[in-house]
Chains A and B, each alone.
Chain A
Amino acid sequence: MKQLVCIVCPNGCTLNIDDSGDEIKVTGGKCKKGSDFAVAELTCPKRTICTTVKTVFKNAPVLPVRVSSDIPKDRIFDVMNEINKITVKDKLKRGDVVIQDVLGLGADVIATSDILSLIT
């Protein structure tokens, strides 16, 4: 029996995982997302990345960004590397794509703030 903490929501349920049989059995979560999370953790753990990207604007030298959907956990630093190569020159808005389909992982890197349209 393994234990995992579900990180999907602030409840942080402790999940009990029984993977001795053919099927992975998960108990302890307050909702179904807990078992989905546990199965993903045992097969292909995924995470989000929230970071910043450089800009050319003096009053907002960095723009907050995130990936539009979770990416494999072991590719986090590869994606960071791609994000660190970029300098934003346009006044992007919240939700605008900064890198499309980053490293072919099926997720875009998107801006998470309107800060560039608010500065002078």
Chain B
Amino acid sequence: MKNYYDVTVIGGGPAGIAAAAEAARNHASVLVIEREARLGGILKQCIHDGFGLVRFKEKLSGPEYAERFIDLLNETDADITVLTFVTKIVKTSGGYRITMVSRDGVASVVSKTIILATGCRERTAKQVFIHGTRPAGVFTAGTAQNFTNLLGQLPCRKCVILGSGDIGLIMARRLTLEGAQVIGVYEAKSTPSGLTRNIHQCLHDYNIPLYLSKTVTRVFGEDRLTAVEISSVDKSMKPVKGTEEIIECDGLILSVGLIPENELAETLGVKIDPKTKGPVCDQSLMTSADGIFSCGNALHVNDLVDYVSESGETAGKAAAEFNASARECIDAETNSNISYIVPQKIDLKGDLSKVVFYFRSRDILKNCKLSITLDGGVVKEKKYMFLRPPEMERIVLDFSKYNLHKNSRLIFNAEGEKI
């Protein structure tokens, strides 16, 4: 490890790996800091296939996808340190001083720029309100995945899955394959939150029922979970009295959502978007703090790793080319049918020729049209058969041919039939 780097990447998941390799290819000196023993992030335990379809036109498993990128990173001269946890970042004259702890003790480096690629964490039982005891046998889907796929231990024999997020659906299939009984997936909302294809290939294929508008209201068991109570919920998600049923099981798996991990960003005073729970960024994925970039699931929760890698490369290239200079930003505004958009800002002094936007709709919209207007004039229109909140959309715009100025208004409007 050197004393000074042009680019330091915090987090060695797919976002960080892609960012580091791209920064190194753009002639920056690069350091990657990962707290676990191996690079790969969450993909180490995502042994199912479906990764890389956009990028490699192949159905790879998570480890295969991650290792292809690790191979590319190893071809560069980026420095990598694992089993190392970043504890503090402070601004200095030459950039940022990063303090980290590893088995060798405490160390620090100065870096001109930082890329935050810390991924996301899962919502836990504390964040969903469930009554009863605190027995063993209640896991997040990611923990259950870690047990099964990395430790080779089945976390339960007969389980209920709460929440229809993709990880829960994937774990329903995985546990069934390993011989556990999955009684059903229970979702409090009236529509599933995972991808349609996962509902089909993970639940329908294995005859696992999906119950909508139902939730777990109580858990039973002293040392180990013995049963859960399921209730129907009304439109405002409140459990309906008299609908309770008791289901015997030794496992409750929670798949109730992911939140970007931004503790470090917050200590740096980086502005967080309440909609994405990730930093507000411009098109180079630089946050509100000069020289601090964000990518992958730390920026917003992605459903496809291909776009995670893309965002890493965008941030990596921009960090390598970074030169402190004043930015002049306009907002990317949306109408109420769009729940969020990334990047949230366009820096008029930055590269305007290829701006990649990612967005999600708030509700399921049928036969819809996205129209993007700049100062009242339409710059792009796109039709979609469906826009679904679980499926992130990507759109690329070239603003170099337009006369953008600091009072310009850029608005994304999605209109369609709500179903």
Within 8 A of B (CB), among A9-58: 9-10, 12, 47-52, 54
Write out the residue numbers on chain A whose beta carbons fall within 8 Å of the beta carbon of B205: 47, 73
State whether A52 touches B149 (Cβ < 8 A).
yes
Chain A, Cβ-Cβ closest to B204: A5
CB of B151 within 8 Å of the partner chain: yes
State whether B49 touches A48 (Cβ < 8 A).
yes
* Chain B 168-201 per-residue mask, 1 if CB under 8 angstroms from chain A, else 0: 0000001001100000000000000001110111
Contact of B177 among A61, A64, A76 (CB under 8 A): A76
Docked pose: A73 CA to B177 CA in angstroms: 12
The A/B interface has a contact count, at CB < 8 Å, of 77
CB of A62 within 8 Å of the partner chain: yes
CB of B59 within 8 Å of the partner chain: yes
Within 8 A of B (CB), among A50-106: 50-52, 54, 61-62, 64, 66, 73, 76-77, 80, 94
Write out the residue numbers on chain A whose beta carbons fall within 8 Å of the beta carbon of B25: none
CB of B348 within 8 Å of the partner chain: no
Write out the residue numbers on chain A whose beta carbons fall within 8 Å of the beta carbon of B60: 112
State whether A5 touches B64 (Cβ < 8 A).
no
Write out the residue numbers on chain B whose beta carbons fall within 8 Å of the beta carbon of A48: 49, 59
State whether A113 touches B196 (Cβ < 8 A).
no
Question: How many whole Å from B83's CB to the nearest CB in chain A?
Answer: 13
Contact of B197 among A7, A77, A112 (CB under 8 A): A7
Contact of B63 among A47, A49, A80, A115 (CB under 8 A): A115
With A73-B205, A113-B67 as given contacts, are A66 and B49 in contact (CB-CB < 8 Å)?
yes
CB of B304 within 8 Å of the partner chain: yes
State whether B150 touches A62 (Cβ < 8 A).
yes
Docked pose: A5 CA to B44 CA in angstroms: 28
Docked pose: A9 CA to B257 CA in angstroms: 22
Chain A, Cβ-Cβ closest to B206: A76
B interface bracket (residues with beta carbon within 8 Å of A) = 20 to 34
Interface of B, secondary structure class, is helix
Write out the residue numbers on chain B whose beta carbons fall within 8 Å of the beta carbon of A52: 47, 148-149, 152
Write out the residue numbers on chain B whose beta carbons fall within 8 Å of the beta carbon of A94: 63-64, 67
**A contacts, CB < 8 Å to B:** 5-7, 9-10, 12, 47-52, 54, 61-62, 64, 66, 73, 76-77, 80, 94, 112-115, 118
Docked pose: A76 CA to B179 CA in angstroms: 12
State whether A5 touches B200 (Cβ < 8 A).
yes
Docked pose: A61 CA to B303 CA in angstroms: 29
Within 8 A of A (CB), among B279-312: 303-304
CB of B244 within 8 Å of the partner chain: no
Write out the residue numbers on chain A whose beta carbons fall within 8 Å of the beta carbon of B195: 10, 12
State whether B53 touches A9 (Cβ < 8 A).
yes
Docked pose: A70 CA to B367 CA in angstroms: 34
* Chain B 43-61 per-residue mask, 1 if CB under 8 angstroms from chain A, else 0: 0100111100110000111
User: A6-B197, A94-B64, A94-B67 known; 8 other A-B pairs, CB under 8 Å?
Assistant: A10-B391, A51-B47, A66-B49, A73-B205, A76-B177, A77-B177, A112-B47, A113-B67
CB of B380 within 8 Å of the partner chain: no
Chain A, Cβ-Cβ closest to B306: A10
Contact of A61 among B49, B152, B199 (CB under 8 A): B152
